[in-house]
Amino acid sequence: MLPADGRLTHDLLPDDRQPRDECGVFGVFAPGEDVATLTYFGLYALQHRGQESAGIATSNGEKILVYKDMGLVSQVFDEGNLKTLQGHMAVGHTRYSTTGASHWVNAQPTLGPRPDGTIALAHNGNLVNTLELLELLHERQGSAKIGELKQGNTTDTAIVTALLNHDGSLEENLKDLMGRIRGAYCFVLMNEKTLYAARDPQGIRPLVLGRLSNGWVVASETAALDICGASFVREVAPGELIAIDEDGLRCEQVLEPARKSCVFEYVYLSRPDTNLNGRSVNESRIEMGRELAREHPVDADLVIPTPESGTPAAIGYAQESGIPYGQGMVKNAYVGRTFIQPTQTLRQLGIRLKLNPLREVIEGKRLVVIDDSIVRGNTQRAVVRMLREAGASEVHVRISSPPVKWPCYYGIDFADRAQLIANGLDTEEICRSIGADSLGYISYDGMVRATAQQPNQLCSACFTGEYPIPLPAPDSEGRELLGMADKEIQK
Residue 262 marked in a binding site: yes
What contacts 366, CB < 8 A, 6 or more positions away? 299, 300, 301, 302, 392, 393, 394, 396
Residue 459 marked in a binding site: yes
Residue 166 C-alpha from the chain's centroid: 30
Tally of CA atoms within 13 A in the half-sphere of 29 that contains its CB: 23
Residue 245 marked in a binding site: no
Residue 53 marked in a binding site: no
Torsion sign across C-alpha atoms 293, 296, 300, 306: negative
Residue 389 C-alpha from the chain's centroid: 34
CB atoms within 10 A of CB 267: 29
| Contact between 196 and 190 (Cβ < 8 Å) | yes
Which residue, 92, 183, 87, 130, is CA-closest to 467?
Answer: 183
Q: At what angle do helices 170-180 and 156-163 cross, to 10 degrees?
A: 130
Residue 372 marked in a binding site: yes
What contacts 204, CB < 8 A, 6 or more positions away? 125, 184, 260, 261, 262, 410, 411, 459, 468, 469
Gap between the Cα atoms of 92 and 67, Å rounded: 10
Per the annotation, the verdict on 23 as an active-site residue is: yes
| Contact between 325 and 303 (Cβ < 8 Å) | yes
What contacts 130, CB < 8 A, 6 or more positions away? 99, 156, 159, 484, 485
Residue 371 marked in a binding site: yes
| Contact between 288 and 313 (Cβ < 8 Å) | yes
Residues 23, 186, 228, 431: which is the catalytic one?
23
CA distances from 381 to 363, 377, 419 (A): 18, 6, 15
Residue 176 marked in a binding site: no
Write out the binding residues for Mg(2+): 309, 371-372
Residues tagged active-site: 23
Write out the binding residues for [4Fe-4S] cluster: 262, 408, 459, 462
Write out the binding residues: 262, 309, 371-372, 408, 459, 462
